[in-house]
Amino acid sequence: MSEEARREYLTPPEKREPPEPRPTELQWAVQAVGEYAQCMQTWVGNDDFLYCHWVAESEEDVYKQLHAFELEEKVVNSRASEMHQFMSAYRASDEIMRQYPTESDKW
């Protein structure tokens, strides 16, 4: 990803040309639902820049959605990794959610 694309992504909407209002978190979440995948969470930093948590039927669907949102190779160069376990303090559920492989030490 180019430094120019990174700066553009990190420019607040109200400072863009033309200026736009900042979306709420709910508005962002609604816009993050695509035909192939849904982005659930993002983390943005300085060094590795951007991580996203996607829910999709397959790794290929994540890439399809990145292209559909016109992000792949413009804003991000991505690598999808399937995860078999998701734990979150934000969910704070009383349910037993932790999963383990059934046959060995790999899913």
Q: What is the pLDDT of residue 48?
A: 65
Distances (CA, A) of 39 to 70, 85, 106: 14, 17, 25
Q: What is the pLDDT of residue 17?
A: 94
Task: List the alpha helices (DSSP H) in 15-75.
Answer: 25-31, 59-68
Where are the domains positioned within the chain? 3-68
Q: What is the pLDDT of residue 81?
A: 82
Q: What is the pLDDT of residue 16?
A: 94
DSSP-derived pairing of the beta strands 37-44 and 50-56: antiparallel
One digit per residue, the tens of pLDDT, for the chain of length 107 reads 677 877 888 899 999 999 999 999 999 999 999 999 999 999 888 776 678 999 999 999 999 999 999 887 776 777 788 888 888 888 788 887 777 888 888 87
One-letter identity of residue 27: Q
Compute the distance between CA of residue 62 and CA of residue 11 in angstroms, rounded to an integer.
25
Q: What is the pLDDT of residue 1?
A: 67
Q: What is the pLDDT of residue 88?
A: 82
* Element at 43 (helix H, strand E): strand 37-44
pTM: 0.75
